[in-house]
Structure 1
């Protein structure tokens, strides 16, 4: 059996074999998934200088923590740890290509671990640094990682790789890397890929999904990573009911093994939420919070979803409570959390008491002070919240009509409750009340924009209720007001997309394609544009209708 060579860790008498190293890392991962986060790190730490797998998994756990805390020190520490892990992996790689084509088993594992370190370091670079130079450096790391995975995959496909005793873990690592690249790149519109220098490669979504599924269902060190990536895809990036069933199938064995695992309880809650089972989702998110107290960051993920669950139920004060908790405890997007607090308070009747004596006008005015930058840019949702909050700067602000429901639209909330007519009916009542209030108020510079927002959201409610003619009329009212809209220019392209999706449901494919191309080409520089462009790209790809798309190829 090949041995991982290198400096012995303190207190360790001899270097571990590759198999011993993998077995111990599997044990540490098992602890992690059972919420024993600190014990997992303690098991890994003594070997981080002499075992590439200990180094990689230790750094991966720290990176997960950093991405959830969003603390600068945690991100810096994770970056340095991942860099050290990459240096450990480098020691086990072949010294040069002239050493011959065949790699030893240890060298093959070193290649895949090195590529994974590169990929994770790139993710941290995008989070940590604010200048374009760092952004480009991150892009180079991604490309280098991609090329290593590509070469390894070709070798495995051609049976050029030595199939050693730990081949299952190697194959899992390649499935994760190649699957992640294919799936991720398939989601990007071609113009973004050209910017990222991945010209000529669009990614094959189905190939990526099948590789990740193979990785997730095999018993290997990357099973969890493959499963988490698939769960994120099925429950956040796209949630067609068939794909939610896929997510449930993936979750089942993990929930059986780790019934109190905070990560899996979270995704179980998310799948129930997508199905419209809001009460069941609330219980699972609450269970996820109770399951462990070591990493509060897992609680924040649950708080965010709980906030939306109570939004769908129009329990504004309960939703405000979760937004308040997030604003106090989480660093991810304070501007967004404070905006949501203000938005929930603004939904309450004027004569109703505010929790903690807070005032929505004052909160809206605070939103811009919490602006932050990631990779040199403010997150689009923060920019949107800051722009909307500007209406409260003046001494006599013009109130936003339904800021909670507007943001709910931005986070795809209306599709969450599409199978729950009573929840849709409640939101429709709120929109009707807001519309009456607008009609009774004097005209102002925001009046047209506010009316169009309500037409868009009412259209979504009508669509959820199967009243497709009423939905179409609502959407067309927005489109016909295009030239009168003064501030919320995002409304028209988004409404055009919603109208096209309505036409797809009605079997009006050609009309839908025409509208999607219109939304793609005719509108630029509006709020949350990239989000809308991604939706257009996904819809056209689904209809196989975009002649501008490159043919799918895979690694």
Structure 2
């Protein structure tokens, strides 16, 4: 048993459950106490006491594997929520140190397959070696998570995948150990904690790998990777329902998948019923926790309840002042909830706050602000004191590179803003709605018929202006196709499927006239495929989506579309008619 300053076991239990009472200072550290203190730190984080959590872990993070894992996990969580390069770099440096700490506890010249012999002997040292494997693998998985957040470029995923092959193999071998020693699960708390770590790792790996397009996954399968989405989800669900240190981490992984990944890199079919059920017990335990409030707001957004979402985001902002980056994440979401209802003045306010306060992507923020201003009346823009043309001209100079790569969304914004470089710029048509589509926002707006109808009115007004333009520019065909695609999306969500199909086919028939926005054709093929899927014509759906996948390349947001295509084709595999 670990020895704390006053040796009070009852206080340890209170600390484990709530982390509200005074936390005893440990003068020795064994595995049991390390897990308890890490649980205390996690509770502090979920109660917005981020610095206190780091202070608790810091004295032991170079000497205890769980303190090292907990310390790096907090910084990784901050980085993945803020998407700030500075946070990512700090987290990555900390993970490297944590890996060194964990390495010291691993079996020398470790071959993970020998863990089964360690379990049978059951000494404290051998228990530590088991946990060292899982902590080491978890730190490597954190590196993979940062790669995923850092850049959606395909090559980055390949490189990241190769780097974490060791982690994947450790998890697979640890899973084999767990499967042959299930009888220990009811006897040993240490083993249950080990089991929770295996389920988090195996589940996350399978889920992450299952998202990758087939052409990437084939390469990874060649070196031993494979991803099964349903198995990954089941492992995470089992982990989330267990009573281990990692239960909340499994739940948060599932929440992130259902509320972000499935929307941005998928077809927008996240399981909101599951997300609400996962969140519910933590809403009672951490009612003012900013992370819990944020996910509650995000679920409300995806439900189309924008008013409730905004109230929750505001509550999240007011819940803590230590991690300002969480405020920025709320500003981003508030900007969109107002944009969905075309409340452009309010949306502008949050875009402006992001420009002034956040360092994630100045190019995106400035472009987004300019795009929102473009939707406002001249009188409204005048009140802001902004020069819209000048804002668009700033975008290219703000572009940054992460891991040596340009950010795809920034590249898209730069390309669009180049229209404003000329002395007499050709104004973009509904640019804020175009960016809404890039982030799959029409799927969210589609939950609200009133908001969708209002967007359709705006789009049809732009369509009429283009049709009556007495002096069409070189961008006219591209702008017309964009408007038709967005119109088709609104009509689809309103259930007017035949009219939506006509809009999409009109875009496709104009392919040869498009000069700049070549992304419109493969994205429209994809949307038309989803429309046919909705109508039950799965063969036709697969044909159009495969066409987008196979016959187009080197266009804006190509990586993002390929992730969505992979998700769509995967969903079609279970349909009555198989995909080609």
- Report the TM-score when normalising by structure 1: 0.91
User: Does structure 1 retain, via aligned residues, the 8 Å contact 2:200–2:236?
Assistant: yes
Q: 1:309 aligns with which of 330, 334, 337?
A: 337
Q: 1:20 aligns with which of 27, 33, 36?
A: 33
Tell me by how many angstroms 1:95 deviates.
1.1
Hey, what's the Cα distance between the residues in 1 that align with 2:50 and 2:401?
Answer: 29
1:463 equivalent in alignment to 2:492: yes
Question: What CA deviation, in whole Å up to 9, does each residue of 1:263-287 have, x standing for no partner?
Answer: 1111111111111111111111111
Hey, what's the Cα distance between the residues in 2 that align with 1:136 and 1:413?
Answer: 28
Hey, what's the Cα distance between the residues in 1 that align with 2:307 and 2:462?
Answer: 27
Hey, what's the Cα distance between the residues in 1 that align with 2:91 and 2:250?
Answer: 21
1:335 equivalent in alignment to 2:363: yes
Partner of 1:237: 261
Q: 2:230 aligns with which of 193, 206, 209?
A: 206
Across the aligned residues of Structure 1 and Structure 2, the Cα RMSD in angstroms comes to 2.7
1:425 equivalent in alignment to 2:449: no
1:116 equivalent in alignment to 2:144: no
Tell me by how many angstroms 1:513 deviates.
1.3
Query: Unaligned stretches of 5+ in structure 1?
Result: 4-10, 551-555
Tell me by how many angstroms 1:127 deviates.
7.2
Partner of 1:150: 172
Hey, what's the Cα distance between the residues in 2 that align with 1:427 and 1:125?
Answer: 36
Q: 1:349 aligns with which of 359, 362, 377?
A: 377
The 1:270–1:378 alpha-carbon spacing in structure 2 relative to 1, beyond 3 Å, is same
Partner of 1:6: none
1:412 equivalent in alignment to 2:440: yes
Question: What CA deviation, in whole Å up to 9, does each residue of 1:360-404 have, x standing for no partner?
Answer: 100000001110112221111111011000000000011001000
User: Does structure 1 retain, via aligned residues, the 8 Å contact 2:237–2:251?
Assistant: yes
Query: Unaligned stretches of 5+ in structure 2?
Result: 4-23, 119-125
Hey, what's the Cα distance between the residues in 2 that align with 1:512 and 1:528?
Answer: 21
User: Does structure 2 retain, via aligned residues, the 8 Å contact 1:127–1:374?
Assistant: no
Superposed counterparts of 1:426-441, under 5 Å: 426-441=454-469
Hey, what's the Cα distance between the residues in 1 that align with 2:295 and 2:494?
Answer: 27
The 1:69–1:408 alpha-carbon spacing in structure 2 relative to 1, beyond 3 Å, is closer
User: Does structure 1 retain, via aligned residues, the 8 Å contact 2:529–2:544?
Assistant: yes
Q: 2:107 aligns with which of 94, 112, 116?
A: 94
The 1:232–1:127 alpha-carbon spacing in structure 2 relative to 1, beyond 3 Å, is closer
Superposed counterparts of 1:227-306, under 5 Å: 227-238=251-262, 243-306=271-334
Tell me by how many angstroms 1:101 deviates.
4.7
Q: Describe the SS at the equivalent of 2:133.
A: helix
Q: Describe the SS at the equivalent of 2:272.
A: helix
Superposed counterparts of 1:39-58, under 5 Å: 39-58=52-71
Hey, what's the Cα distance between the residues in 1 that align with 2:53 and 2:201?
Answer: 24
1:192 equivalent in alignment to 2:221: no
Partner of 2:528: 499
Structure possessing the higher relative contact order (Cα contacts under 8 Å, 6 or more residues apart) = 1
Q: Describe the SS at the equivalent of 2:552.
A: coil
Q: 2:420 aligns with which of 392, 404, 410?
A: 392
Hey, what's the Cα distance between the residues in 2 that align with 1:17 and 1:502?
Answer: 58
User: Does structure 2 retain, via aligned residues, the 8 Å contact 1:176–1:222?
Assistant: yes
1:369 equivalent in alignment to 2:397: yes
Q: Describe the SS at the equivalent of 2:402.
A: coil
Hey, what's the Cα distance between the residues in 2 that align with 1:513 and 1:248?
Answer: 32
1:30 equivalent in alignment to 2:43: yes
Q: 2:205 aligns with which of 181, 196, 199?
A: 181
- Report the TM-score when normalising by structure 2: 0.88
User: Does structure 2 retain, via aligned residues, the 8 Å contact 1:71–1:331?
Assistant: yes
The 1:400–1:97 alpha-carbon spacing in structure 2 relative to 1, beyond 3 Å, is closer
User: Does structure 2 retain, via aligned residues, the 8 Å contact 1:183–1:205?
Assistant: yes
Question: What CA deviation, in whole Å up to 9, does each residue of 1:453-497 have, x standing for no partner?
Answer: 011001011111111111111111001111111111111111111
Hey, what's the Cα distance between the residues in 1 that align with 2:443 and 2:222?
Answer: 32
Q: Describe the SS at the equivalent of 2:427.
A: coil
Partner of 1:452: 481
Hey, what's the Cα distance between the residues in 2 that align with 1:433 and 1:533?
Answer: 32
Question: What CA deviation, in whole Å up to 9, does each residue of 1:386-428 have, x standing for no partner?
Answer: 1000000000011001000001011111110222111011101
Moved more, 188-197 or 387-396: 188-197
Length, aligned pairs only: 541
Partner of 2:90: 77
Q: 1:478 aligns with which of 487, 490, 507?
A: 507
1:544 equivalent in alignment to 2:573: yes
